[in-house]
Structure 1
Amino acid sequence: MLLFFLLNNWHFFVLVMILMMVGGLISFLFPRFPSLLVILLFAVIGLIYAFVYNVQDISILLITTICIFTLIPIALVKYTLYLQQLAERLESEQ
């Protein structure tokens, strides 16, 4: 059933890609904004998506997928900002 849903509903993939880009952008533009709030907001968007498209039976899987895929760019941006801060600190020590 899940495979049938994913193949026939391509807009889920578009939603995940848009949320990934928005999550990374929010994390880059507002580095002190809590990442957990962003992920919770996207989980609520996934829940709304499940109710709009009438797929409440797999809503937990959809929310988990959205949360995992939005965590990836957020973690990459946070790690990049940490490395930038570390490089600046090492450069100032020399």
Structure 2
Amino acid sequence: MPTKVPPDLVDKLERLALLDFRNQDGVDCLEKAIRFADQLHVVNTNGVEPMDSVLEDRALFLREDHVEEGDCAEALLRLSKNTLEGYFVAPPGKKNL
């Protein structure tokens, strides 16, 4: 069954992802990605234990987290060319998929 993405959702995804879906190739690529991801719904995961890590064949030791310096968010954000409302953001611009 073909996956069709409504135009209003395409517009919203463009704004969120900073991608350009204005041409049919971009929309086709998006729909293909959605169809691929939809395959995950048919996988039977009954009885499969959740993983703590993809490296479950190794012992992973967590250390205590000790803050050595704090209250430096503004200084770190000033190092970035692109920020918005206190967050790092991807460089502006639109690219075709």
Q: Do the two structures share a fold, i.e. TM-score over 0.5?
A: no
Which is richer in helix?
Answer: 1
Which is richer in strand?
Answer: 2
- Give the TM-score normalised by structure 1: 0.29
- Give the TM-score normalised by structure 2: 0.28
Report which of the two structures shows the higher radius of gyration computed on alpha carbons: 2
Report which structure shows greater RCO (CA 8 Å, sep ≥6).
2
